[in-house]
A and B are shown apart, each in its own frame.
Chain A
Amino acid sequence: MQDLLFYVFAAVALIAGFLAVANPFSRNPLASALFLAVALVAVSGLFVLLHAFFLGAVQILIYAGAVMVLFLFVIMLLDLREEQKRRARKVAAGLASALALALAALISAAALAGGGPADPPALEGGARALGRALFTDFLLPFEIVAVLLVAAMVGVVWLSRKEAA
Protein backbone atom coordinates (compact mmCIF):
# COMPACT_ATOMS: atom_id res chain seq x y z
CA MET A 1 0.00 0.00 0.00
CA GLN A 2 2.86 2.40 0.86
CA ASP A 3 4.57 1.51 -2.43
CA LEU A 4 1.35 1.95 -4.37
CA LEU A 5 0.80 5.39 -2.82
CA PHE A 6 4.41 6.32 -3.59
CA TYR A 7 3.92 5.52 -7.27
CA VAL A 8 0.62 7.39 -7.39
CA PHE A 9 2.06 10.54 -5.80
CA ALA A 10 5.26 10.35 -7.85
CA ALA A 11 3.32 9.93 -11.08
CA VAL A 12 0.99 12.82 -10.25
CA ALA A 13 3.94 15.05 -9.33
CA LEU A 14 5.81 14.22 -12.54
CA ILE A 15 2.82 14.58 -14.86
CA ALA A 16 1.64 17.80 -13.22
CA GLY A 17 5.18 19.16 -13.23
CA PHE A 18 5.50 18.40 -16.92
CA LEU A 19 2.16 20.01 -17.69
CA ALA A 20 3.20 23.08 -15.70
CA VAL A 21 6.14 23.80 -17.99
CA ALA A 22 4.98 22.32 -21.30
CA ASN A 23 1.23 22.07 -21.57
CA PRO A 24 0.20 20.88 -25.04
CA PHE A 25 -3.45 21.85 -24.48
CA SER A 26 -3.17 25.48 -23.46
CA ARG A 27 -0.45 28.09 -23.25
CA ASN A 28 -2.25 29.89 -20.48
CA PRO A 29 0.11 30.74 -17.58
CA LEU A 30 -2.76 30.25 -15.17
CA ALA A 31 -3.12 26.60 -16.13
CA SER A 32 0.61 26.19 -15.56
CA ALA A 33 0.35 27.75 -12.10
CA LEU A 34 -2.54 25.48 -11.14
CA PHE A 35 -0.64 22.41 -12.36
CA LEU A 36 2.27 23.58 -10.23
CA ALA A 37 -0.10 23.59 -7.25
CA VAL A 38 -1.10 19.98 -8.04
CA ALA A 39 2.57 18.99 -8.25
CA LEU A 40 3.29 20.65 -4.89
CA VAL A 41 0.40 18.79 -3.24
CA ALA A 42 1.72 15.49 -4.65
CA VAL A 43 5.20 16.24 -3.33
CA SER A 44 3.75 16.91 0.11
CA GLY A 45 2.10 13.49 -0.17
CA LEU A 46 5.60 12.05 -0.70
CA PHE A 47 6.78 13.88 2.43
CA VAL A 48 3.96 12.31 4.42
CA LEU A 49 4.95 8.84 3.12
CA LEU A 50 8.43 9.58 4.55
CA HIS A 51 6.75 10.26 7.94
CA ALA A 52 7.67 13.95 7.67
CA PHE A 53 4.15 15.09 8.57
CA PHE A 54 5.23 18.56 9.62
CA LEU A 55 7.06 19.20 6.37
CA GLY A 56 4.12 17.86 4.36
CA ALA A 57 1.61 20.08 6.15
CA VAL A 58 3.83 23.16 5.90
CA GLN A 59 4.43 22.47 2.22
CA ILE A 60 0.68 22.65 1.56
CA LEU A 61 0.08 25.57 3.93
CA ILE A 62 2.80 27.79 2.50
CA TYR A 63 3.45 26.68 -1.06
CA ALA A 64 0.13 25.33 -2.26
CA GLY A 65 -1.77 27.97 -0.29
CA ALA A 66 -0.06 31.32 0.16
CA VAL A 67 2.72 31.29 -2.45
CA MET A 68 0.40 29.85 -5.10
CA VAL A 69 -2.10 32.65 -4.56
CA LEU A 70 0.72 35.18 -4.93
CA PHE A 71 1.70 33.56 -8.22
CA LEU A 72 -1.89 33.73 -9.42
CA PHE A 73 -2.12 37.43 -8.56
CA VAL A 74 1.13 38.22 -10.35
CA ILE A 75 -0.04 36.30 -13.41
CA MET A 76 -3.27 38.26 -13.44
CA LEU A 77 -1.30 41.51 -13.50
CA LEU A 78 0.68 40.33 -16.54
CA ASP A 79 -0.64 40.73 -20.05
CA LEU A 80 -1.99 37.26 -20.70
CA ARG A 81 -2.38 37.57 -24.49
CA GLU A 82 1.20 38.76 -24.90
CA GLU A 83 2.38 35.87 -22.76
CA GLN A 84 0.42 33.29 -24.75
CA LYS A 85 1.83 34.49 -28.06
CA ARG A 86 5.43 34.36 -26.94
CA ARG A 87 7.45 31.46 -28.31
CA ALA A 88 10.30 29.90 -26.40
CA ARG A 89 13.72 30.84 -27.75
CA LYS A 90 15.57 27.96 -29.39
CA VAL A 91 18.88 28.50 -27.57
CA ALA A 92 17.28 28.87 -24.18
CA ALA A 93 15.09 25.81 -24.71
CA GLY A 94 18.09 23.73 -25.82
CA LEU A 95 20.19 24.86 -22.88
CA ALA A 96 17.40 24.14 -20.41
CA SER A 97 16.79 20.66 -21.87
CA ALA A 98 20.51 19.86 -21.71
CA LEU A 99 20.67 20.97 -18.08
CA ALA A 100 17.58 18.95 -17.18
CA LEU A 101 18.98 15.85 -18.90
CA ALA A 102 22.30 16.27 -17.08
CA LEU A 103 20.49 16.55 -13.75
CA ALA A 104 18.38 13.47 -14.51
CA ALA A 105 21.53 11.54 -15.51
CA LEU A 106 23.27 12.61 -12.31
CA ILE A 107 20.37 11.55 -10.09
CA SER A 108 19.86 8.21 -11.82
CA ALA A 109 23.63 7.51 -11.73
CA ALA A 110 23.65 8.20 -8.00
CA ALA A 111 20.58 6.03 -7.47
CA LEU A 112 21.98 3.13 -9.54
CA ALA A 113 25.53 3.27 -8.18
CA GLY A 114 25.31 3.60 -4.43
CA GLY A 115 21.65 3.48 -3.70
CA GLY A 116 20.37 4.25 -0.23
CA PRO A 117 20.23 1.73 2.56
CA ALA A 118 17.74 -0.97 1.64
CA ASP A 119 15.74 -0.28 4.78
CA PRO A 120 16.01 3.43 5.57
CA PRO A 121 15.58 4.34 9.24
CA ALA A 122 12.31 5.97 10.20
CA LEU A 123 12.61 9.73 9.87
CA GLU A 124 11.88 11.82 12.91
CA GLY A 125 10.01 14.63 11.21
CA GLY A 126 7.81 15.82 14.04
CA ALA A 127 7.32 19.44 14.96
CA ARG A 128 9.18 18.99 18.26
CA ALA A 129 12.39 17.66 16.65
CA LEU A 130 12.28 20.34 13.96
CA GLY A 131 11.73 23.14 16.46
CA ARG A 132 14.57 21.90 18.66
CA ALA A 133 16.92 21.76 15.65
CA LEU A 134 15.89 25.23 14.50
CA PHE A 135 16.46 26.85 17.89
CA THR A 136 19.73 25.09 18.79
CA ASP A 137 21.95 23.95 15.92
CA PHE A 138 20.53 26.23 13.23
CA LEU A 139 19.69 29.30 15.29
CA LEU A 140 21.90 31.73 13.36
CA PRO A 141 20.67 30.78 9.85
CA PHE A 142 17.11 30.84 11.21
CA GLU A 143 17.53 34.36 12.58
CA ILE A 144 19.25 35.54 9.39
CA VAL A 145 16.37 34.27 7.28
CA ALA A 146 13.92 36.02 9.61
CA VAL A 147 15.81 39.32 9.25
CA LEU A 148 15.92 38.84 5.49
CA LEU A 149 12.17 38.35 5.32
CA VAL A 150 11.52 41.41 7.48
CA ALA A 151 13.85 43.45 5.25
CA ALA A 152 11.94 42.31 2.16
CA MET A 153 8.63 43.19 3.81
CA VAL A 154 9.81 46.66 4.86
CA GLY A 155 11.13 47.21 1.36
CA VAL A 156 7.80 46.32 -0.20
CA VAL A 157 5.93 48.64 2.17
CA TRP A 158 8.33 51.47 1.40
CA LEU A 159 8.06 50.97 -2.37
CA SER A 160 4.27 50.95 -2.35
CA ARG A 161 4.18 53.98 -0.02
CA LYS A 162 6.39 56.13 -2.19
CA GLU A 163 4.04 55.89 -5.13
CA ALA A 164 1.15 57.38 -3.16
CA ALA A 165 3.03 60.53 -2.10
Chain B
Amino acid sequence: MNMEGILALTGWGGLRWVGPVELFERGPVWLRDWAVGWLPEGAKVWAEGLIPAVAVLAVFGLLFGLATVAERKLLGRIQNRPGPNRVGPYGWLQFAADGVKMLTKEDVVPRSADRVLHFLAPIVMLAPVALSLAVIPYGRDLVAADPRCGLLFFFAVGSAAEVAAFMAGWSSRNKYSLLGAMRAIAQMISYELPLVLSALTVVMMAGSLSLVEIVEAQSGYWWGVIPRWHVMTPWGLAGLLLFMAAAAAASNRAPFDLPEGESEIIGGFMTEYSGFKYAIFFMGEYFGMFAVSGLAVTLFLGGWQAPLAVLEAAPSYGWFFLKLGVMIAWFIWVRGTLPRLRVDHLLNFGWKYLLPLGALNLLVAMVWRGLGGWAFPGAGAVRWLACLAMIGLPAILWGRLLMRSRGWGPRVYRYAS
Protein backbone atom coordinates (compact mmCIF):
# COMPACT_ATOMS: atom_id res chain seq x y z
CA MET B 1 0.00 0.00 0.00
CA ASN B 2 2.71 2.47 0.93
CA MET B 3 5.36 0.84 -1.25
CA GLU B 4 5.57 3.76 -3.70
CA GLY B 5 5.91 6.08 -0.74
CA ILE B 6 8.93 4.14 0.51
CA LEU B 7 10.50 4.12 -2.92
CA ALA B 8 9.80 7.79 -3.34
CA LEU B 9 11.69 8.73 -0.21
CA THR B 10 14.40 6.10 0.06
CA GLY B 11 15.52 5.98 -3.57
CA TRP B 12 18.11 8.62 -4.51
CA GLY B 13 16.51 11.33 -6.60
CA GLY B 14 13.24 9.40 -6.65
CA LEU B 15 11.32 11.96 -4.63
CA ARG B 16 7.78 12.28 -5.79
CA TRP B 17 5.54 15.23 -5.22
CA VAL B 18 2.88 14.56 -2.56
CA GLY B 19 0.10 16.80 -1.37
CA PRO B 20 0.17 18.21 2.18
CA VAL B 21 -2.73 16.00 3.26
CA GLU B 22 -0.95 12.84 2.21
CA LEU B 23 2.37 14.09 3.55
CA PHE B 24 1.05 14.64 7.07
CA GLU B 25 -1.07 11.49 7.03
CA ARG B 26 1.62 9.14 5.78
CA GLY B 27 4.64 11.09 7.04
CA PRO B 28 5.40 9.06 10.19
CA VAL B 29 5.16 5.77 8.29
CA TRP B 30 7.42 7.07 5.50
CA LEU B 31 9.91 8.33 8.04
CA ARG B 32 10.06 4.90 9.68
CA ASP B 33 10.44 3.08 6.38
CA TRP B 34 13.11 5.56 5.26
CA ALA B 35 15.08 5.03 8.47
CA VAL B 36 14.75 1.25 8.21
CA GLY B 37 15.82 1.35 4.56
CA TRP B 38 19.33 2.51 5.52
CA LEU B 39 20.01 -0.49 7.71
CA PRO B 40 21.52 -3.84 6.70
CA GLU B 41 19.11 -6.77 6.15
CA GLY B 42 19.69 -8.43 9.54
CA ALA B 43 19.00 -5.30 11.56
CA LYS B 44 15.75 -4.43 9.78
CA VAL B 45 13.58 -6.77 11.89
CA TRP B 46 14.90 -5.27 15.09
CA ALA B 47 14.63 -1.70 13.84
CA GLU B 48 11.02 -2.17 12.78
CA GLY B 49 10.17 -3.09 16.35
CA LEU B 50 12.50 -0.63 18.01
CA ILE B 51 11.61 2.55 16.11
CA PRO B 52 7.89 2.52 17.03
CA ALA B 53 8.80 1.67 20.63
CA VAL B 54 11.18 4.62 20.88
CA ALA B 55 8.64 6.88 19.17
CA VAL B 56 5.85 5.88 21.58
CA LEU B 57 8.10 6.36 24.62
CA ALA B 58 9.36 9.73 23.38
CA VAL B 59 5.89 11.07 22.56
CA PHE B 60 4.39 9.90 25.85
CA GLY B 61 7.43 11.00 27.82
CA LEU B 62 6.93 14.52 26.49
CA LEU B 63 3.17 14.25 26.99
CA PHE B 64 3.83 13.20 30.60
CA GLY B 65 5.83 16.37 31.20
CA LEU B 66 3.26 18.60 29.55
CA ALA B 67 0.36 16.84 31.31
CA THR B 68 1.87 17.46 34.75
CA VAL B 69 2.15 21.17 34.00
CA ALA B 70 -1.30 21.28 32.40
CA GLU B 71 -2.77 19.52 35.42
CA ARG B 72 -1.20 21.99 37.84
CA LYS B 73 -2.29 24.96 35.74
CA LEU B 74 -5.84 23.67 35.34
CA LEU B 75 -6.15 22.77 39.02
CA GLY B 76 -4.89 26.25 39.79
CA ARG B 77 -7.54 27.75 37.53
CA ILE B 78 -10.23 25.65 39.23
CA GLN B 79 -8.98 26.79 42.65
CA ASN B 80 -8.77 30.43 41.56
CA ARG B 81 -4.96 30.75 41.61
CA PRO B 82 -2.44 31.07 38.77
CA GLY B 83 -0.59 27.74 39.02
CA PRO B 84 3.04 27.38 37.86
CA ASN B 85 3.98 30.35 35.65
CA ARG B 86 7.68 31.09 36.30
CA VAL B 87 9.79 28.52 34.40
CA GLY B 88 9.83 29.04 30.64
CA PRO B 89 7.04 30.70 28.63
CA TYR B 90 3.89 30.75 30.78
CA GLY B 91 5.48 28.12 33.04
CA TRP B 92 5.37 25.35 30.43
CA LEU B 93 8.97 24.25 31.14
CA GLN B 94 8.16 23.54 34.78
CA PHE B 95 8.40 19.78 34.12
CA ALA B 96 12.07 20.11 33.07
CA ALA B 97 12.89 21.87 36.35
CA ASP B 98 10.94 19.22 38.27
CA GLY B 99 12.83 16.46 36.44
CA VAL B 100 16.20 17.95 37.33
CA LYS B 101 15.08 18.35 40.93
CA MET B 102 13.97 14.71 41.11
CA LEU B 103 17.21 13.48 39.54
CA THR B 104 19.46 15.34 41.95
CA LYS B 105 17.49 14.43 45.08
CA GLU B 106 18.92 11.94 47.53
CA ASP B 107 17.59 8.43 47.10
CA VAL B 108 16.64 7.30 50.61
CA VAL B 109 16.12 3.58 51.26
CA PRO B 110 14.93 2.59 54.75
CA ARG B 111 17.47 0.49 56.65
CA SER B 112 15.10 -2.43 57.24
CA ALA B 113 13.69 -2.40 53.72
CA ASP B 114 14.03 -5.31 51.35
CA ARG B 115 16.49 -3.55 49.05
CA VAL B 116 15.98 -5.69 45.96
CA LEU B 117 12.19 -5.48 45.94
CA HIS B 118 12.34 -1.81 46.93
CA PHE B 119 14.47 -1.18 43.85
CA LEU B 120 12.41 -3.37 41.50
CA ALA B 121 8.94 -2.08 42.40
CA PRO B 122 9.04 1.18 40.37
CA ILE B 123 10.36 -0.73 37.35
CA VAL B 124 7.62 -3.36 37.61
CA MET B 125 5.15 -0.49 37.83
CA LEU B 126 6.35 1.43 34.77
CA ALA B 127 7.44 -1.27 32.29
CA PRO B 128 4.06 -3.05 31.85
CA VAL B 129 2.22 0.25 31.46
CA ALA B 130 4.67 1.25 28.73
CA LEU B 131 4.04 -2.15 27.10
CA SER B 132 0.30 -1.57 27.14
CA LEU B 133 0.82 1.66 25.14
CA ALA B 134 2.17 -0.50 22.30
CA VAL B 135 -1.16 -2.00 21.21
CA ILE B 136 -3.14 1.25 20.94
CA PRO B 137 -3.61 2.42 17.33
CA TYR B 138 -2.55 6.09 17.22
CA GLY B 139 -3.46 6.66 13.59
CA ARG B 140 -4.00 4.95 10.27
CA ASP B 141 -1.30 2.20 10.21
CA LEU B 142 0.32 3.84 13.26
CA VAL B 143 0.40 1.05 15.82
CA ALA B 144 3.52 -0.40 17.39
CA ALA B 145 2.09 -3.94 17.63
CA ASP B 146 -1.23 -5.40 16.54
CA PRO B 147 -1.63 -8.81 18.17
CA ARG B 148 -4.90 -10.64 17.52
CA CYS B 149 -5.77 -10.35 21.21
CA GLY B 150 -4.74 -6.69 21.56
CA LEU B 151 -7.35 -5.83 24.16
CA LEU B 152 -6.55 -8.91 26.22
CA PHE B 153 -2.84 -8.05 26.05
CA PHE B 154 -3.67 -4.58 27.35
CA PHE B 155 -5.48 -5.90 30.42
CA ALA B 156 -2.97 -8.70 30.97
CA VAL B 157 0.07 -6.44 31.24
CA GLY B 158 -2.00 -3.96 33.24
CA SER B 159 -2.49 -6.55 35.97
CA ALA B 160 1.22 -6.37 36.81
CA ALA B 161 0.53 -3.04 38.53
CA GLU B 162 -1.09 -4.91 41.43
CA VAL B 163 2.07 -6.94 42.01
CA ALA B 164 4.15 -3.75 41.76
CA ALA B 165 2.00 -1.98 44.35
CA PHE B 166 2.35 -4.95 46.66
CA MET B 167 6.13 -5.10 46.16
CA ALA B 168 6.46 -1.40 46.93
CA GLY B 169 4.23 -1.54 49.99
CA TRP B 170 5.69 -4.68 51.48
CA SER B 171 9.37 -4.02 50.81
CA SER B 172 9.25 -0.60 52.48
CA ARG B 173 8.61 -2.09 55.94
CA ASN B 174 6.28 0.73 56.78
CA LYS B 175 2.73 0.41 58.09
CA TYR B 176 1.41 3.19 55.92
CA SER B 177 3.07 1.69 52.87
CA LEU B 178 1.49 -1.68 53.51
CA LEU B 179 -1.93 -0.14 54.17
CA GLY B 180 -1.63 1.84 50.95
CA ALA B 181 -0.65 -1.28 49.02
CA MET B 182 -3.61 -3.22 50.41
CA ARG B 183 -5.95 -0.40 49.48
CA ALA B 184 -4.42 -0.17 46.01
CA ILE B 185 -4.77 -3.90 45.37
CA ALA B 186 -8.34 -4.12 46.71
CA GLN B 187 -9.27 -1.17 44.52
CA MET B 188 -7.52 -2.42 41.38
CA ILE B 189 -9.01 -5.91 41.64
CA SER B 190 -12.54 -4.62 42.29
CA TYR B 191 -12.50 -2.06 39.51
CA GLU B 192 -10.88 -4.33 36.95
CA LEU B 193 -14.23 -6.14 36.64
CA PRO B 194 -16.43 -3.20 35.55
CA LEU B 195 -13.54 -2.00 33.36
CA VAL B 196 -13.30 -5.32 31.53
CA LEU B 197 -17.10 -5.74 31.39
CA SER B 198 -17.63 -2.41 29.66
CA ALA B 199 -14.79 -3.18 27.23
CA LEU B 200 -16.33 -6.61 26.62
CA THR B 201 -19.50 -4.96 25.30
CA VAL B 202 -17.43 -3.35 22.56
CA VAL B 203 -15.67 -6.64 21.79
CA MET B 204 -19.03 -8.33 21.41
CA MET B 205 -20.39 -5.66 19.07
CA ALA B 206 -17.22 -5.23 16.99
CA GLY B 207 -16.57 -8.97 16.89
CA SER B 208 -12.83 -8.65 17.45
CA LEU B 209 -10.25 -8.39 20.20
CA SER B 210 -7.83 -6.51 17.95
CA LEU B 211 -7.85 -2.79 18.72
CA VAL B 212 -7.08 -1.93 15.08
CA GLU B 213 -10.18 -3.82 13.94
CA ILE B 214 -12.28 -2.22 16.68
CA VAL B 215 -11.34 1.23 15.35
CA GLU B 216 -12.12 0.14 11.80
CA ALA B 217 -15.53 -1.12 12.94
CA GLN B 218 -16.36 2.48 13.91
CA SER B 219 -15.70 4.02 10.48
CA GLY B 220 -18.40 5.66 8.40
CA TYR B 221 -21.29 7.98 9.21
CA TRP B 222 -25.02 7.71 9.84
CA TRP B 223 -26.87 9.87 7.30
CA GLY B 224 -23.44 11.25 6.38
CA VAL B 225 -23.20 13.44 9.51
CA ILE B 226 -23.12 11.45 12.75
CA PRO B 227 -19.96 9.36 13.03
CA ARG B 228 -20.51 5.65 13.68
CA TRP B 229 -18.56 5.78 16.95
CA HIS B 230 -19.70 3.42 19.67
CA VAL B 231 -20.44 6.33 21.98
CA MET B 232 -23.28 7.33 19.65
CA THR B 233 -25.25 4.23 20.64
CA PRO B 234 -27.02 3.87 24.04
CA TRP B 235 -24.85 0.95 25.14
CA GLY B 236 -21.73 2.77 23.98
CA LEU B 237 -22.66 5.91 25.91
CA ALA B 238 -23.36 3.92 29.07
CA GLY B 239 -20.21 1.86 28.42
CA LEU B 240 -18.05 4.98 28.14
CA LEU B 241 -19.40 6.39 31.42
CA LEU B 242 -18.90 3.08 33.23
CA PHE B 243 -15.46 2.68 31.65
CA MET B 244 -14.30 6.14 32.69
CA ALA B 245 -15.54 5.69 36.27
CA ALA B 246 -13.72 2.37 36.51
CA ALA B 247 -10.66 3.76 34.71
CA ALA B 248 -10.29 6.59 37.22
CA ALA B 249 -10.21 3.98 39.98
CA ALA B 250 -7.92 1.59 38.11
CA SER B 251 -5.36 4.32 37.49
CA ASN B 252 -5.59 5.63 41.09
CA ARG B 253 -6.86 9.03 40.05
CA ALA B 254 -8.99 11.31 42.19
CA PRO B 255 -11.66 10.91 43.48
CA PHE B 256 -10.49 7.30 43.81
CA ASP B 257 -6.90 8.07 44.88
CA LEU B 258 -7.25 6.38 48.27
CA PRO B 259 -4.04 4.31 47.94
CA GLU B 260 -2.11 7.54 48.37
CA GLY B 261 -4.63 9.49 50.42
CA GLU B 262 -2.14 11.85 52.04
CA SER B 263 -4.53 13.00 54.76
CA GLU B 264 -4.84 9.41 56.05
CA ILE B 265 -1.82 7.29 55.14
CA ILE B 266 0.89 9.82 54.12
CA GLY B 267 1.75 8.63 50.60
CA GLY B 268 0.43 5.09 50.56
CA PHE B 269 2.75 2.55 49.01
CA MET B 270 5.00 5.38 47.81
CA THR B 271 5.69 6.71 51.31
CA GLU B 272 9.26 5.40 51.47
CA TYR B 273 10.22 6.42 47.95
CA SER B 274 12.13 9.55 47.13
CA GLY B 275 14.04 11.07 44.27
CA PHE B 276 13.85 9.43 40.90
CA LYS B 277 12.19 6.24 42.12
CA TYR B 278 9.26 8.37 43.22
CA ALA B 279 9.34 10.12 39.85
CA ILE B 280 9.11 6.74 38.12
CA PHE B 281 6.04 5.83 40.18
CA PHE B 282 4.56 9.17 39.24
CA MET B 283 5.37 8.53 35.59
CA GLY B 284 3.83 5.05 35.78
CA GLU B 285 0.64 6.58 37.15
CA TYR B 286 0.44 9.14 34.36
CA PHE B 287 1.29 6.54 31.71
CA GLY B 288 -1.50 4.41 33.16
CA MET B 289 -3.89 7.34 32.81
CA PHE B 290 -2.77 7.88 29.19
CA ALA B 291 -3.18 4.17 28.47
CA VAL B 292 -6.75 3.88 29.80
CA SER B 293 -7.68 7.20 28.18
CA GLY B 294 -6.26 5.95 24.88
CA LEU B 295 -8.18 2.72 25.30
CA ALA B 296 -11.41 4.65 26.00
CA VAL B 297 -10.81 6.71 22.84
CA THR B 298 -10.14 3.53 20.86
CA LEU B 299 -13.11 1.58 22.17
CA PHE B 300 -15.82 4.22 22.31
CA LEU B 301 -14.73 7.46 20.62
CA GLY B 302 -13.73 6.06 17.25
CA GLY B 303 -9.97 6.01 17.78
CA TRP B 304 -8.27 8.04 15.07
CA GLN B 305 -11.46 8.53 13.00
CA ALA B 306 -12.41 12.11 12.20
CA PRO B 307 -15.76 13.35 13.56
CA LEU B 308 -16.90 14.65 10.15
CA ALA B 309 -16.18 13.55 6.60
CA VAL B 310 -14.89 17.02 5.61
CA LEU B 311 -12.40 16.94 8.49
CA GLU B 312 -10.70 13.77 7.30
CA ALA B 313 -8.05 15.91 5.63
CA ALA B 314 -6.45 16.47 9.04
CA PRO B 315 -3.98 13.71 9.97
CA SER B 316 -5.53 10.76 11.79
CA TYR B 317 -3.04 10.81 14.66
CA GLY B 318 -3.98 14.44 15.23
CA TRP B 319 -7.56 13.37 15.90
CA PHE B 320 -6.39 10.64 18.25
CA PHE B 321 -4.26 12.96 20.33
CA LEU B 322 -6.98 15.63 20.35
CA LYS B 323 -9.42 13.10 21.81
CA LEU B 324 -6.74 11.89 24.23
CA GLY B 325 -6.25 15.48 25.36
CA VAL B 326 -9.99 15.82 26.00
CA MET B 327 -9.95 12.67 28.13
CA ILE B 328 -6.95 13.90 30.14
CA ALA B 329 -8.67 17.25 30.66
CA TRP B 330 -11.71 15.34 31.92
CA PHE B 331 -9.53 13.48 34.43
CA ILE B 332 -8.03 16.76 35.67
CA TRP B 333 -11.44 18.41 35.87
CA VAL B 334 -12.84 15.53 37.96
CA ARG B 335 -9.81 15.69 40.23
CA GLY B 336 -10.34 19.40 40.80
CA THR B 337 -14.08 19.00 41.43
CA LEU B 338 -14.84 15.90 43.49
CA PRO B 339 -13.68 15.11 47.04
CA ARG B 340 -11.96 11.84 47.84
CA LEU B 341 -14.16 8.82 48.67
CA ARG B 342 -14.01 6.69 51.79
CA VAL B 343 -12.76 3.12 51.40
CA ASP B 344 -16.08 1.35 52.02
CA HIS B 345 -17.92 3.80 49.76
CA LEU B 346 -15.35 3.10 47.07
CA LEU B 347 -15.73 -0.67 47.23
CA ASN B 348 -19.53 -0.49 47.51
CA PHE B 349 -19.69 1.78 44.47
CA GLY B 350 -17.59 -0.67 42.46
CA TRP B 351 -19.29 -3.91 43.46
CA LYS B 352 -22.90 -2.84 44.02
CA TYR B 353 -23.33 -0.18 41.35
CA LEU B 354 -20.79 -0.35 38.52
CA LEU B 355 -20.63 -4.15 38.26
CA PRO B 356 -24.42 -4.82 37.94
CA LEU B 357 -24.76 -1.94 35.49
CA GLY B 358 -21.84 -3.30 33.44
CA ALA B 359 -23.56 -6.70 33.23
CA LEU B 360 -26.83 -5.02 32.32
CA ASN B 361 -25.08 -3.03 29.60
CA LEU B 362 -23.99 -6.28 28.01
CA LEU B 363 -27.69 -7.25 27.78
CA VAL B 364 -28.58 -3.84 26.34
CA ALA B 365 -25.98 -4.31 23.61
CA MET B 366 -27.55 -7.68 22.77
CA VAL B 367 -31.02 -6.11 22.56
CA TRP B 368 -29.60 -3.30 20.40
CA ARG B 369 -28.26 -5.83 17.95
CA GLY B 370 -31.51 -7.84 18.08
CA LEU B 371 -33.62 -4.78 17.28
CA GLY B 372 -31.41 -3.92 14.29
CA GLY B 373 -33.91 -5.59 11.94
CA TRP B 374 -36.74 -3.09 12.55
CA ALA B 375 -37.75 -1.32 9.37
CA PHE B 376 -40.81 0.85 10.05
CA PRO B 377 -40.48 4.66 9.86
CA GLY B 378 -38.79 6.07 12.94
CA ALA B 379 -37.45 2.67 13.92
CA GLY B 380 -33.98 4.08 14.59
CA ALA B 381 -35.25 6.61 17.12
CA VAL B 382 -37.50 4.08 18.88
CA ARG B 383 -34.64 1.58 19.08
CA TRP B 384 -32.31 4.24 20.44
CA LEU B 385 -34.74 5.42 23.13
CA ALA B 386 -35.77 1.91 24.12
CA CYS B 387 -32.18 0.83 24.67
CA LEU B 388 -31.35 4.06 26.50
CA ALA B 389 -34.32 3.50 28.83
CA MET B 390 -33.18 -0.07 29.41
CA ILE B 391 -29.86 1.09 30.84
CA GLY B 392 -30.77 4.61 32.03
CA LEU B 393 -33.79 3.84 34.20
CA PRO B 394 -32.09 1.01 36.16
CA ALA B 395 -29.06 3.26 36.65
CA ILE B 396 -31.15 6.03 38.21
CA LEU B 397 -33.49 3.77 40.20
CA TRP B 398 -30.72 1.50 41.50
CA GLY B 399 -28.68 4.52 42.53
CA ARG B 400 -31.66 6.00 44.43
CA LEU B 401 -32.34 2.67 46.13
CA LEU B 402 -28.74 2.33 47.27
CA MET B 403 -28.71 5.88 48.60
CA ARG B 404 -32.01 5.40 50.46
CA SER B 405 -30.91 2.23 52.24
CA ARG B 406 -27.94 4.09 53.67
CA GLY B 407 -29.14 5.82 56.81
CA TRP B 408 -27.03 8.42 58.59
CA GLY B 409 -25.73 7.30 61.95
CA PRO B 410 -22.65 6.28 63.92
CA ARG B 411 -20.44 3.93 61.96
CA VAL B 412 -19.69 0.47 63.38
CA TYR B 413 -16.14 -0.77 62.88
CA ARG B 414 -15.96 -4.53 62.70
CA TYR B 415 -12.41 -5.09 63.85
CA ALA B 416 -11.32 -1.82 65.37
CA SER B 417 -13.97 -1.36 68.08
Contact between A60 and B185 (Cβ–Cβ < 8 Å)?
A: no
Among B152, B153, B155, B170, contact of A76 (Cβ-Cβ < 8 Å): B170
Binary B-proximity of A122-139 (CB < 8 A = 1, otherwise 0):
000011000000000000
| B163 contacts partner chain A, Cβ-Cβ < 8 Å | yes
Q: What size tier do the contact residues of chain B reach?
A: 20 to 34
User: Given the known A-B contacts A53-B148, A53-B149, are A69 and B156 also in contact in the complex, defined by CB atoms under 8 Å?
Assistant: no
> A10 at interface (Cβ–Cβ under 8 A)?
no
Q: Which residue of B lies closest to A48 (CB)?
A: B147
Choice from B153, B157, B185 contacting A69 with Cβ under 8 Å: B185
A69-B148 contact, Cβ under 8 Å, with A34-B117, A60-B156, A61-B156: no
The docked-state distance in angstroms from the alpha carbon of A30 to that of B121 is 14
In the assembled complex, the Cα of A127 lies from the Cα of B209 at a distance in Å of 8
Name the residue on A nearest B165 (C-beta).
A69
Residue ID in chain A nearest B161 by CB atoms:
A65
Docked Cα-Cα span, A126 to B208, in Å, equals 11
* Distance A101 CA – B293 CA, assembled complex (angstroms): 50
Q: Does B363 contact A (CB under 8 A)?
A: no
Q: Which DSSP category, helix, strand, loop or mixed, fits chain B's interface?
A: helix
Q: Is the CB of B163 within 8 A of A127?
A: no
Q: Is the CB of B189 within 8 A of A69?
A: yes
CB <8 Å contact, A60 and B159: yes
Category for how many chain A residues contact B: 20 to 34
Give bound CA distance, A66 to B182, whole Å: 14
Interface residues of A in 37-93 (CB under 8 A from B): 37, 53-54, 57-58, 60-61, 64-66, 68-69, 72-73, 76
Instruction: Tell me how far the C-beta of B281 lies from the nearest C-beta in chain A, rounded to whole angstroms.
Output: 18
- B167 CB within 8 Å of chain A: yes
> Is B162's CB within 8 Å of the partner chain A?
yes
Which residues of chain B have a CB within 8 Å of any CB of chain A? 45, 117, 147-149, 152-153, 155-157, 159-160, 162-163, 166-167, 170, 182, 185, 189, 209, 414
A contact set with B: CB distance below 8 Å = 1, 30, 34, 37, 53-54, 57-58, 60-61, 64-66, 68-69, 72-73, 76, 126-127, 164
Query: Could you list 16 examples of A-B contacts with CB < 8 Å?
Result: A53-B148, A53-B149, A53-B153, A54-B149, A57-B153, A58-B152, A60-B159, A60-B160, A61-B159, A64-B160, A64-B163, A65-B156, A72-B166, A72-B170, A127-B149, A164-B414
